Homo-oligomer: A and B are copies of this chain.
Amino acid sequence: MDEEFAPHYEPADALQAPRYTGIRTFARCPYVSDLSGLDAAAIGIPFDTATSNRPGARFGPEAIRAASIALRSWNHELGVDVFKSLSVGDLGDIGITPGNARKTAGQIASALVPVLEAGISPVALGGDHSMVLGELRAYAEVHGPVALVLLDAHADVWDSYYGERYFHGTPFRRALEEGLLLPESSVLAGMRGGLYSANDLDEPRRMGFEVLTCNELRTLRPQEYANRVRERVGSAPVFFSFDIDVIDPAFAPATGTPEVAGLLPHEALAFIRSLAGIPFVGFDIVEVAPIYDGPGQITALLAANVAWEFLSLRALAQQSR
């Protein structure tokens, strides 16, 4: 398509149309099915079969979209006008198969490949973390194995639960087995809470990942964190996965396996923003189970803001091209 005539998709203007009017799409961006003309797109993955404690992340995309009506366009901290810089649409949800994590991983991969091939940066809205296996298959198919920047309370490299190998605590081990990840280029941070055994943190390190516990991360200044990440990822294609449970349960109660004493939101946002300049190939924000939110739906609001910071990173990377 001739770029000059490409459509520019952006949210409805909340100073004209009240922000609570209209069908709930991400940030009130247009709901599109045609992939042309998009720089980035929200895409829901409402799957939660593979969760070991509280279910409900199937309604995560709905809740994040509903909360995202509060988003505006200018990111003051990063100095970027998100929706002027980027053409952003909402591609709706990927078809998934409840009760069948293995089949769903395939569906996710198939759905994402054309999006990536169209040059669109996806911001996937989850959904339990098992979905990242399907995502990584698509990224690896288009970009080759990728570096992983993970903010999460759990490293998610366990082998299986009750014999089930496709589960929300196992995706990165499966991805490693499938050759989708570059562990030595990856940084996993935010791990905390009780573990099954001392081995739980040693094992990802043996696999090649850098692992920063939440208490280690908390003591780093954002720039220090950013330096470590930049050093690790180098020039590899990088994927950013944000599990909402990296945040303290007071700010993000609506998640499947909350762990006490997590990051505060302003800390987490500062870590995200510190990575400005890295040309991420894609993003996800996972494990939002909205029924566990109170009426204020603050978890969903935070997740929507994380997605918006992702778009800000994407906009900045575009500007610096």
Contact = CB atoms under 8 A, between A and B. Distances in A.
Nearest to A21: B93
A293 B74 CA distance: 28
A7 interface: no
B292 A292 contact: no
A195 interface: yes
Interface of A: 14-25, 31, 44, 46, 48-56, 58-59, 62, 65-66, 69-77, 79, 81-82, 90, 92-101, 103, 158, 160-164, 166-167, 192-198, 200-201, 213-215, 218, 248-251, 253-254, 257-262, 264-266, 269, 291-296, 298, 301-302, 305, 308
Contacts of A16: 162
A289 to B, nearest CB: 9
Complex copy number for this chain: 6
7 contacts: A24-B24, A48-B55, A74-B197, A77-B215, A248-B251, A249-B296, A254-B296
A97 B58 contact: no
Contact of A295 (B46, B70, B196, B293): B293
A46 B18 contact: yes
Nearest to A215: B77
Given A46-B20, A50-B99, A73 B194 contact: yes
Nearest to A57: B55
Contact of A93 (B22, B101, B197): B22
Contacts of A21: 44, 46, 93-96
Determine which residue in A46, A65, A90, A248 has the highest number of CB atoms from chain B within 10 A of its CB, and name it. Answer: A248
B266 A162 contact: no
A23 B194 contact: no
Nearest to A58: B20
